[in-house]
Amino acid sequence: MKQKLVVIGNGMAGMRTVEELLKLEPDMYDITVFGNEPHPNYNRIMLSPVLAGDKQIDDIILNSLDWYRDNHITLRSGAEVVDIDRVGQKVHDSEGKEIAYDRLLIATGSRPFIIPVPGADKRGVIGFRDIADVDTMLSYAANHKNAVVIGGGLLGLEAANGLRTRGMNVTVVHLLDSLMERQLDKPASALLKATLEERGLSFMMQAQTAEIVGEDTVTGVRFADGSEVAADLVVMAVGIRPNITLAKDSGIHCERGIVVNDTMQTFDPKIYAVGECVQHRGDCYGLVAPLFEQAKVAANHLVQMGISRYEGSVTSTKLKVTGVDLFSAGDFNEGEGDETLVLQDPSQGVYKKLVIRDNKIKGAVLYGDTIDGTWYFTLLREGTDISAFRNTILFGQHDLGDAGHGDASASVMALPANAEICGCNGVCKGDIVDAIARKGLFTLEEVRSHTKASSSCGSCTGLVEGILAGTVGEGYDKAPSKKGMCGCTEHSHDEVIAAISKSGLKSMHAVREALDWKSPDGCASCRPALNYYLLAHWPGEYQDDAQSRFINERAHGNIQKDGTYSVVPRMFGGLCTADELRAIADVSDKYQVPEMKVTGGQRIDLFGVKKEDLPAMWRDLSEAGFVSGHAYGKAMRTVKTCAGKNWCRFGTQDSTGLGVQLEQLTWGSWMPHKFKLAVSGCPRNCAEATIKDFGVVCVDSGYELHVGGNGGIKVRVTDLLCKLDTEEEVLEYCAAFIQLYREEGHYLERTAPWVERVGLAHIKQQVLDDAETRKALRERFLFSQRFAQIDPWKARAQGEQAHEFTTLKIA
Amino acid sequence: MTDWIEIVALDEIPKLGARVIRTDMVDVAVFRTSDDQVFAVRDACPHKGGPLSQGIVHGTSVTCPLHNWKIDLASGEALGPDEGCTTVFSTRVENGKVFLALKADEAAA
């Protein structure tokens, strides 16, 4: 028997709550939504582009009528709720109907504040709130000349700009002496005003409206000082007031807004409220991000999961007002005892100010160049001490070589067309801009597939996004459209992993069926991923699917650009003997290997080996005592070591010996991505242990464990995990850490992003804090190794998988 | 004149996999889908000549292991925004054996 949910209000906050609720428990409620506009839920923020002519109404609908129908939501648009009977748990609507509820969600939003001056009720005086207002403005623009916008805030300026592009003479009236005083300080406001005046807007600052004049329809606006301005249309954009009349009349406690607690409940526990009508911890919000956070929390409680809290939002404002980039966050007006750092270039239209206290950012205002807004906001939110880079902080976070932070549009668009953007694929800026223009590309995915830019290592993603934003402008949607692990499914990696481990899915077929895969065979992305997840969670039970392995792992060698392979025998800890070297040299001669090279992983690579020769070569190497180096796999790769205590005058421990033990423990294991270890014999760290997935730095009193380091494309230094006393402990903790990564990492996620995603605290909790958990992890790793630590070369030298290495000859 | 040449038993091609036939003129990759359809294309990706036989097979297409181009096995055409085409060869399966149609001058002696 479904419960009944009544939602009063069909706007962005209310419908986002319903969406979040449906994601969690689609069948829990019979939902009825009341909305007083004759439209399904639309993006109110996009009304400005609709007014200016950049978008149509259809473009801004968020939930179509089909969505309501498909989700069995009864939408009553036009009928209003006039009364809430809280005791009887029902609402009455304007048509006299009575609808019972188990839970009620009030999302009545806000209404524009109309200044109560004489004449405010004349025809031609409107707010700027909904589609009806936009329709009115468009019809006036077609037939009339003069518009006055009262209110020089964000909304007022957007309205003024829109009306001006539609051909009207527009005057903006503002009570204070600087525009957008809630988002900008005086200098930035002045720059904005100058830009807008150049565009043809007129301003009357510090002007107090006294009366709207005219007969039934408005003809002008008169001010307190007696002056007057002609107007056919007056738009009031002086603020919004939460819509709380219905709530108040029903006895729900309100102050400026409907008062809610951290679970979005009103004083009546069966009644929730979200959005602009709400007051939470004294704050009312008019920006969309906090409202979406509230929606998520409300949904969580409406489905009785009860684990989420809304604690208020720290907001930053990033806007494009009439084409100008603006950013502000925190307390951007400096107070007593605050310092300011300012960078100003008026002729370029750039103004950046940081308000600092105790070497921490308290507030920021950026005009014209907002690339670093996100970075400054992060520093502000995290309370980062900026003293180390204080003298360059205003120049921004990176030079252009780095991956996406903040909005790169301004400076990347200044690059010449022949500037190389994507180093892996040799794509220059002009290629990308061309493709976007000629082929009408809108998303990062489209740019990737059409130009290859950002489709290999991904470091230039931020630059590509900047070019998209700069070329496509308003139409560019940065948010990823799906979180699915590949094109075959909407499910994320975490969802798939959970399904496999908790629902006992033990074959790819079972997974694809249980999770509604869109293609029966999967694709080149998900097949290897699923194969790994199944192997990792069901060792010994799941039969590895060779045809789902990338060629390197199937052929146990690295494929090269000409179709030959490279062969890397394993050298434990980087050690080798003269006999072993002779064996490698002999193999190289026998099979006429064109090139041999020493690798960074402290072993030897044989290049140019023909695939058909691999099994025979492996047989020879196997007889010499070598096993596969797994240089080709999403697997444990190498353990690099330094000379250590056995030889080095600085060595504190036997780093080489420990390295060999670690390699003997871990070789052969399959991982979400390649995994590299190292052991350094002293803090000089000659084995570079601090850029390894798992590194040991020996010290006089023991062993420091370091995790989550990556060399390569995006270098990350390790986090210190702990310090141990004995080699046995190092091996135990290593096994536990590796198993945790194997069970939680997303396929193709190196330990560095994994550690940052789950947090070092989580890893410490699993591996350090609880000895039982650690032991269990280690046991699972050792169990898994029973099936994984088998030399693939030897098996194939003896004839396994022969078809992989034999070409057919014509009979 | 088209010769139908017997090359391999169907079972010796792994499902969702391929075998390579080497002739003096050309390498041919023979694919088997999950529902036992057989396709043959020149074992060279139109992009940079990568060995399509080594790629992951899905449905009736294969992803080239070198740079991830997807090739439709029936037509030899690259899928999606990539453009290019590799040669296709006709095949036939009879009594569990796969036959390949090679023009006389493409077959090895």
Residues of B in Cβ contact (< 8 Å) with A523: 56, 58, 63
Q: Is A98 exposed, middle or buried (0-12, 13-18, 19+ CB in 10 A)?
A: exposed
Q: What tens digit of pLDDT does each residue of A65-114 get?
A: 999 999 999 999 988 999 999 999 999 999 899 999 999 999 999 999 99
* Confidence at residue A93, expressed as pLDDT on a 0 to 100 scale: 93
Q: Is A701 exposed, middle or buried (0-12, 13-18, 19+ CB in 10 A)?
A: exposed
Task: List, in sequence order, every residue forming a beta bridge with A566; answer none if it has no partner.
Answer: A558
Judge: B81–A546 Cβ closer than 8 Å, yes or no.
no
Contact A6, A104 (CB under 8 A): yes
Euclidean distance between CA atoms A505 and A498, whole angstroms = 10
How many C-beta atoms lie closer than 10 Å to residue A287's C-beta?
15
Euclidean distance between CA atoms A642 and A573, whole angstroms = 9
DSSP label of A283: B
The phi and psi torsions of A127 (rounded to 5 degrees) equal: -95, -170
CA torsion A27-A32-A38-A41 (nearest 10°) is -40
Residues of B in Cβ contact (< 8 Å) with A528: 56
Q: What tens digit of pLDDT does each residue of A410-426 get?
A: 567 777 788 878 877 77
Contact A805, A612 (CB under 8 A): yes
Report helix, strand or coil for A604.
strand
State pTM to two decimals: 0.57
Residue B101 forms contact with A (CB below 8 Å): no
Judge: A519–B58 Cβ closer than 8 Å, yes or no.
yes
Contacts of A632 (CB under 8 A, 6+ apart): A552, A553, A555, A556, A557, A558, A568
User: To which H or E segment does residue A598 belong?
Assistant: strand A595-598
Spans of chain A, pLDDT less than 50: 399-408, 475, 479-482
Residue B105 forms contact with A (CB below 8 Å): no
Residues of B in Cβ contact (< 8 Å) with A557: none
Judge: B22–A808 Cβ closer than 8 Å, yes or no.
yes
Contact A455, A425 (CB under 8 A): yes
* Confidence at residue A318, expressed as pLDDT on a 0 to 100 scale: 66
Chain A residue closest to B107 (CA)? A810
Residues of A in Cβ contact (< 8 Å) with B102: 810
* Confidence at residue A320, expressed as pLDDT on a 0 to 100 scale: 62
Instruction: List residues of A whose CB lies inside 8 A of any B CB.
Output: 439, 449-450, 519-524, 527-528, 546-548, 550-552, 554-555, 559, 561, 563, 803, 806-811
Euclidean distance between CA atoms A431 and A790, whole angstroms = 48
Q: In which residue are the tokens 């402290």 written?
A: A602
Query: What CATH code is carried by the domain that includes residue B9?
Result: 2.102.10.10
How many C-beta atoms lie closer than 10 Å to residue A122's C-beta?
16
Task: Quickly state the pLDDT bin for B7 (edges 50, 70, 90).
Answer: very high
Q: Which domain holds residue B24?
A: 2-106
Residues of B in Cβ contact (< 8 Å) with A552: 65
Q: Which amino acid is at A745?
A: G
State the best of B54, B62, B63, B106 to mutate against chain A, taking most chain A CBs within 10 Å.
B54
Judge: A810–B7 Cβ closer than 8 Å, yes or no.
yes
Q: How many structural domains does chain B have?
A: 1
Contact A157, A238 (CB under 8 A): no
Judge: B55–A524 Cβ closer than 8 Å, yes or no.
yes
Cβ-nearest to A524 among B17, B30, B63: B63
Report helix, strand or coil for A597.
strand
CA-CA distances (angstroms) from residue A273 to A21, A31, A287, A304? Answer: 14, 15, 16, 16
Cβ-nearest to B22 among A550, A555, A807: A807
The phi and psi torsions of A278 (rounded to 5 degrees) equal: -100, 150
Residues of B in Cβ contact (< 8 Å) with A519: 58-59
Euclidean distance between CA atoms A347 and A587, whole angstroms = 70
> How far is CA A288 from its chain centroid?
17
Q: In which residue are the tokens 């290997």 written?
A: A593
* Confidence at residue A398, expressed as pLDDT on a 0 to 100 scale: 57
Residue B52 forms contact with A (CB below 8 Å): no
Task: With both helix axes pointing from N to C terminus, report the angle between A771-788 and A727-744 in degrees, rounded to the nearest 10.
Answer: 80
Residue B18 forms contact with A (CB below 8 Å): no
Judge: B108–A810 Cβ closer than 8 Å, yes or no.
yes
Cβ-nearest to A810 among B5, B12, B70: B5
Contact A750, A673 (CB under 8 A): yes
| d(CA A589, nearest CA chain B) in Å | 25
Closest CA to A577 of A624, A623, A525, A528: A624
Contact A35, A129 (CB under 8 A): no
